[in-house]
């Protein structure tokens, strides 16, 4: 009989004879790959001289005589299934949290709270709208939880994706062209805005970004503003037409 055993230290899943596993530990033959496969197929009895691996878990999937094809493919297939299962579970947690945030953010019916007034600014289209939002944030002396929750609903696969989704939701591209991280060449310095703290908190509301560092988030923000000129056809507009004739002004 065979068992499916997960080795927690290496995060590997293997199909092994059931007698190799005992109470959280699994014996493993000291052979090369082909020798190991042969030992498994032939249900060899474990030897005391075999290495003993702790932190092993029996996944409680027992079967008696797998076919040769199943034996070679089952471990890899099961590993992929377990990885995909974990991804789906993480995505489910993210969706539940986003729904909870959305519910909290919309409680109170039609009442116009301070947070809802702030979210009405988005997406920010010009410098005046940005200054108005900055004024409200400055008077609060800290990031507004309502804005953080609203922007955090953008989601994302990783820190970069989440930052880009949030900024796209918060700032129109025409305004983004006038902003950079440090504010060089007469641009607005995002580093010195109260909105920076809001964006960073919103990014970390995504469970997949909860441990993202300030540097990781800042790098993604810098890149988003740097690429503003290339978005919405900007790069194509700067390229000369393929059949454009040169003039005396060239």
Residue 222, burial from CB neighbour count under 10 angstroms (0-12, 13-18, 19+) = middle
Distance in angstroms (rounded) separating the CA atoms of residues 196 and 225: 13
- Mean pLDDT lowest for which of 57-61, 64-68, 205-209? 64-68
- 73-106 burial by CB neighbour count: b if 16+ within 10 A, else e? ebbeebeeeeeeeeeeeeeeebeebbeebeeebe
> What pLDDT was estimated at residue 238?
53
Q: Residue 249 — pLDDT band, cuts 50, 70, 90?
A: very low
Model pLDDT for residues 60-79, shown as the tens digit of each residue:
654 444 444 444 445 556 65
Q: Tell the residue number behind the tokens 């197929």, with chain if given.
A: 41
100 against 221, higher pLDDT: 221
Distance in angstroms (rounded) separating the CA atoms of residues 48 and 21: 13
Residue 77 token pair: 């297939």
Pairing of strands 179-180, 188-189: parallel
Residue 217 token pair: 């988030």
> What pLDDT was estimated at residue 139?
85
Distance in angstroms (rounded) separating the CA atoms of residues 122 and 175: 12
Distance in angstroms (rounded) separating the CA atoms of residues 249 and 109: 62
On the CB side of 81, CA atoms within 13 Å amount to 8
Report the candidate in 136, 133, 150 with the shortest Cα–Cα distance to residue 201. Answer: 150
Give 56's strand partners. 7
Length of the chain measured in residues? 250
Contact in structure between 56 and 24 (CB atoms under 8 Å): yes
Answer yes or no: is pLDDT of 250 > 50.
Answer: no
- Among 1-15, 40-54, 191-205, the range with the most confident prediction by mean pLDDT is 191-205
Task: Tell me, yes or no, if the pTM score tops 0.85.
Answer: no
């Amino acid at each position: 009989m065979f068992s499916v055993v997960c080795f927690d230290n290496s995060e590997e899943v293997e199909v092994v004879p059931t007698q190799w596993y005992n109470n959280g530990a699994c014996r493993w033959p000291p052979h090369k790959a082909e020798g190991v496969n042969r030992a498994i197929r032939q249900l060899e009895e474990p030897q005391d001289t075999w290495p003993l691996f702790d932190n092993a878990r029996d996944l409680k999937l027992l079967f008696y005589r797998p076919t040769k094809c199943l034996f070679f493919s089952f471990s890899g297939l099961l590993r992929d299934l377990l990885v995909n299962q974990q991804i789906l579970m993480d995505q489910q947690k993210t969706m539940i949290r986003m729904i909870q945030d959305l519910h909290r953010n919309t409680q109170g019916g039609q009442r116009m709270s301070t947070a809802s007034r702030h979210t009405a600014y988005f997406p920010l289209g010009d410098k005046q709208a940005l200054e108005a939002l900055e004024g409200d944030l400055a008077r609060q002396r800290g990031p507004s939880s309502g804005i953080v929750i609203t922007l955090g609903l953008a989601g994302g696969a990783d820190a970069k994706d989440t930052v880009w989704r949030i900024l796209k939701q918060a700032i129109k591209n025409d305004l983004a062209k006038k902003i950079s991280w440090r504010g060089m060449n007469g641009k607005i310095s995002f580093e010195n805005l109260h909105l920076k703290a809001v964006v960073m908190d919103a990014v970390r509301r995504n469970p997949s970004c909860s441990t993202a560092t300030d540097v990781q988030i800042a790098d993604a923000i810098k890149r988003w503003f740097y690429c503003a000129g290339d978005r919405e056809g900007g790069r194509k507009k700067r390229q000369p037409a393929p059949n454009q004739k040169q003039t005396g002004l060239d």
